[in-house]
Amino acid sequence: MIRRALLASTLALAACNAEAYDNNDAELAVRQKAKEMCSCLFVMELSEQECAAWTRVSPNVARATIDRENKRVHAVALGFWAADARFDGRHGCVHD
């Protein structure tokens, strides 16, 4: 819990210090996780374990929930940031 709080503080600080683009690492991480996990599962058709390895980034704060029936991925980080991606046929995956 302490580690998570420290990480959240660090990420929030990084967000405040962003010089070039108004993103923070947790927000980027959930969007990356949702989109790339969706593409890995439904476009590249690899296993969840393989896709977890393919989409791992640092900091590895995003966790994905997979809806195979609707071909969607929901990613969350630190209980606050969240993102979704969905499969769209030959156009692969796209953020919601």
Residues in touch with other proteins (CB under 8 A): 14, 17-25, 27-28, 31-32, 35, 39, 43-47, 50, 53-54, 57-58, 90-95
Phi-psi region of 16 (alpha: psi -120 to 50; beta: other; left: phi over 0): alpha
Instruction: State the nearest-atom distance from the C-beta of 94 to other proteins, in Å.
Output: 6
Nearer to other proteins, 8 or 14 (CB): 14
Q: Which is nearer to other proteins, 23 or 65 (CB)?
A: 23
In the complex, what is the shortest distance from the CB of residue 70 to other proteins, in angstroms, rounded to a whole number? 18
User: In the complex with other proteins, which residue's Cβ is closer, 1 or 21?
Assistant: 21
| DSSP characters over the chain | -HHHHHHHHHHHHHHHH-SS-S--HHHHHHHHHHHHHHHHHHTS---HHHHHHHT--SS--EEEEEETTTTEEEEEETTTEEEEEEE-GGG-EEE-
Taking the complex as a whole, the smallest distance from the CB of residue 18 to other proteins amounts, in Å, to 4
